Copies of this chain bind each other. A is one copy, B any other.
Amino acid sequence: MTLYIDKINNYIKCLDNETLNALQNISSTKQYKKGELLLRQDEVCTKSYLLQNGIARKYYLNGAKEITTELYFENDLAVSFDSYSLQQPSREFIEALTDVTVSITHYQAFQDAKAKYTKLLTLDLMFAEYYGIWVENRLFQFHTLTATERYLEILNKSPHIIQSIPLTIIASYLGISLETLSRIRAKI
């Protein structure tokens, strides 16, 4: 999967200046403080957020419980996928877990740019494919791995997550209770 990210970044790197400028022209930088929300439930996700630094997450509420659906680090693109794609209200929040700097691009501006610069359309397709594969894989792991195995998977493949994020959020990302996560960690 990281391969696909590399492929995307490589594609961006190789964009001609005209396309690159077009992209630049519709993007702007903004900062958020730790705890601030970049997107709220029920809002339409009209922007995409490219993390330049810091950590963020996407989550939704199941009753009173938060379920974290994605964690974002430097160079990750944060959007509520369905809300952004369909321009309909989001069930998810996007929250800064640390102070973050993001590059913001408006949905409509990007739509217009895609119509003019085919390479941006291709880029959008690459993002959509990447995300689809990523979610598919996440679902696959929920079906085939136990809680312990999922934790170990993160520990091995994404140790930065364990280091930088509170256990409550990691537990909600793994789809288990905080207590269960604590017990898993005690065993290992």
Within 8 A of B (CB), among A134-160: 135-140, 142-144
Cβ of A35 < 8 Å from any Cβ of B? no
- Cross-chain contact A132 with B175 (CB below 8 angstroms): no
Q: How many chain-A residues does the 8 Å CB contact rule pick out? A: 30
| Copies of this chain in the oligomer | 2
- Nearest-neighbour CB distance to chain B for A172, whole angstroms, equals 10
Within 8 A of B (CB), among A103-152: 118, 121-122, 124-125, 128-129, 131-133, 135-140, 142-144
Contacts of A137 in B (CB 8 A): 82
Contacts of A3 in B (CB 8 A): 86
- Cross-chain contact A133 with B81 (CB below 8 angstroms): yes
- Cross-chain contact B135 with A136 (CB below 8 angstroms): yes
Contacts of A129 in B (CB 8 A): 81, 85, 128
Q: How far is the CA of A132 from the CA of B132 in the complex (A)?
A: 4
Cβ of A62 < 8 Å from any Cβ of B? yes
Cβ of A11 < 8 Å from any Cβ of B? no
> Closest residue of chain B to A82, judged by CB?
B133
Contacts of A67 in B (CB 8 A): 143-144
- Cross-chain contact A132 with B81 (CB below 8 angstroms): yes
- The listed residue (B86, B131, B143) touching A4 by CB distance below 8 A is B86
Contacts of A138 in B (CB 8 A): 139
